[in-house]
Amino acid sequence: MIRIISFGYGHSTPPAAELTYDLRALLRNPFHDEALKTLTGLDEAVYRHVTETPGAERLALNAAATARDLAHDADGDVLMAWGCTGGRHRSVGLARRTHELLTAAGEEAVIEHRDVHLPLLPPGLHSRPRHDATTPDHVGASRA
């Protein structure tokens, strides 16, 4: 079985997982959009914002394939953890997307959102995007 957990680095230590993905610098952060800030990755608007970030779908597909292969090769449970600053937006969105991909492929997968219910962290803990609001962040873009 593949267990998926979303969490926030700002609330507690990351869970001990076979696969941990740190999204703090990779995807557009809905926290910086006033219309999305108080919502979570369980809300469709935030989910779309996160999953439509360039590179997010590729990341989810690769993570799902890696978890599936590891679970089959190890013949056991695999824990995949998705982390962002507060555990309310990006990590929840990518955890959801990965869960959808795995279950659609017939894999046994469960999902937990550890910190989605916790209060928003103060703005000073959220790093500003590397790009201005009109330029989307790109996962895996070269940083020459």
Give one DSSP letter per residue of 101-128, joined into a string: HHHHTT--EEEEESSTTSPPPPGGGSPP
CA distance 93 to 56: 10
Pairing status of strand 78-84 against strand 19-22: parallel
For residue 81, which of 10, 20, 18 has the smallest C-alpha distance?
A: 20
Contact between residue 69 and residue 25 where contact means Cβ atoms under 8 Å apart: no
User: Is the pLDDT reported for residue 41 higher than 90?
Assistant: yes
The rounded mean pLDDT for the chain is 87
Task: Give the pLDDT confidence score for residue 127 in this predicted structure.
Answer: 58
Domain spans of the chain, in order of start: 2-125
pTM as predicted: 0.85
Place of tokens 């590891």: 70
Please tell me the number of Cα atoms within 13 Å of 86 on its side-chain side: 23
Place of tokens 């926290």: 31
Contact between residue 41 and residue 116 where contact means Cβ atoms under 8 Å apart: yes
Banded pLDDT at 126 (limits 50, 70, 90)? low
